[in-house]
Amino acid sequence: MKYYFSFLISLLIIILSIDSVSAKEPAILSFETGVLEDKEFGAVYLDLTIEEFSERGFSFGDGITVEFDNGFRLENIPYYSGYYVNIGETLACGYPGYPHVAIVRNYSAPMWEESGVTEDTSATVSLVQKGEYLATEELFHLTYDSVQKDGESDIQFGNFRPLKGGKIQENLIYRGASPCDNTHGRASVADKLIKDAGIRYVINLSDSEEEVEEFRQEQGYHSPYYDYLLEENNVILLDLNANYTSEEYNQKLSHALFEMTKHEGPIFIHCQEGKDRTGFVCALILSLAGASEEEIIEDYMITFENYYGITKENNSEKYNAVLSNIEGFMDYIRGETTLQEGAEEYLVKGGLREKEIEAVYQMLCGKELQGDRNK
């Protein structure tokens, strides 16, 4: 009998231990949080930082479900450190340097509008499968420093270069990192680069007037040449999100390219990093100038060598993964025709008349488009 009671006591201790562990570690990882609007891209921010999201047990590469209390639900989407999905697909993104985890539809309509949420909405986030998308996260994961390394040139650090390809005039259009937004530590370097290149006019794709003023008030801001261009009304502020397929993006960009023709070059184009929004715009400009696919790809991929050290020779796997971005840009520009004709059609949809498109081409290439196309 004493052995029977000993067995019962041991069994009770085991059951209590299991209950104690279960209380500390729920079988389902799930929590509720508020939401905030990402004013720049229109994403839905979860009201907690990337670090806090990690502390709750979520890691890059996990599959998660997000359900808002208005009934909008996103089932088993990936949580990545970057925008590693195709155009139009949804993800949760903890992008380095950003304040919160964002729920985004990549290069598409703002998730804030699509989901119909407000700042009174709450979201329930649940883990579907740990590491479900880890292979993609590891393939695409890219990081870079916000501090210039020893031996790293200003040109590389500032992701700065002139566009080359087709019939575009030499040293006319430049691209690079922002000379005013210092999120990634490059503003003052980019400012020096545009001054040295003699930039006369700037197309700022990413910022509003209010955002630029906020940058200028930040401690450590030092971009005197950009300030000079602003004061001379030689900067156009487009305040674009990443959705290059939208009507707003199309109209604003088309107007900016025509407005460019009223100013002297050289011209500088930037967003925050000079990577994605700038990448699409430069692909469009090079397409209009008659550049080949190879020339457009070469220009785009320099960014990934500058920031991440990726080349086709030293990391073909990551190089080919990144290549899908610029191929997507070109597919959209080309449509059912050629790159050059597709670029013209894009500007027509944006509201430019034939003579205005002609003026853009003439500035880019120093000759008339009519009779010169594809020669």
Give 120-164 as a DSSP string.
T-EEEEEEEETTTTHHHHHHH-----SSPPTT--HHHHTT-EE--
**Structural fold of domain 154-365:** Protein-Tyrosine Phosphatase; Chain A (3.90.190)
Mean pLDDT of the chain: 91
- What's the average model confidence in pLDDT over 148-168? 97
pLDDT of res. 373: 57
Please, are residues 85 and 108 in contact by the beta-carbon 8 Å criterion?
A: no
Please, are residues 158 and 186 in contact by the beta-carbon 8 Å criterion?
A: yes
Whether the per-residue pLDDT at 26 is higher than 80: the answer is no
pLDDT of res. 24: 38
DSSP 90: E
pLDDT of res. 303: 98
Write out pLDDT tens, residues 167-196.
Answer: 999 999 999 999 999 999 999 999 999 999
pLDDT of res. 120: 96
* CB-based contacts of 196, cutoff 8 Å, min separation 6: none
CATH 2.40.30.90 domain residues, the chain: 31-140
Provide the 10 A C-beta neighbour count for residue 88. Answer: 12
Write out pLDDT tens, residues 100-151.
Answer: 999 999 988 899 999 999 999 999 999 999 999 999 999 999 888 899 999 9
For residue 103, what are the β-bridge partners? 44, 92
Confidence of residue 339 (pLDDT cuts 50, 70, 90): very high
pLDDT above 70 coverage of the chain, percent? 91
Whole-model pTM: value is 0.84
Higher pLDDT residue, 2 or 220? 220
Residue found by looking up tokens 């210092």 in the block = 182
pLDDT of res. 121: 97
For residue 45, what are the β-bridge partners? 36, 102
Q: Buried (b) or exposed (e) across 218-252, using 16+ Cβ within 10 A?
A: eeebebebbbebbeeebbbbbbbbbbbebeebbeb
CATH of 31-140, picked from 3.20.20.100, 2.40.30.90, 3.40.47.10, 3.40.50.300, is 2.40.30.90
Confidence of residue 371 (pLDDT cuts 50, 70, 90): low
pLDDT of res. 97: 81
CATH 3.90.190.10 domain residues, the chain: 154-365
Whether the per-residue pLDDT at 260 is higher than 90: the answer is yes
- What's the average model confidence in pLDDT over 161-170? 98
CA dihedral 149, 154, 159, 164 (to 10 degrees): -140
Write out pLDDT tens, residues 300-313.
Answer: 999 999 999 999 99
* CB-based contacts of 167, cutoff 8 Å, min separation 6: 289, 290, 364, 365, 366, 367, 372
Whether the per-residue pLDDT at 2 is higher than 60: the answer is no
Taken in order 323, 266, 342, 236, the sign of the CA dihedral is positive
Higher pLDDT residue, 326 or 39? 326
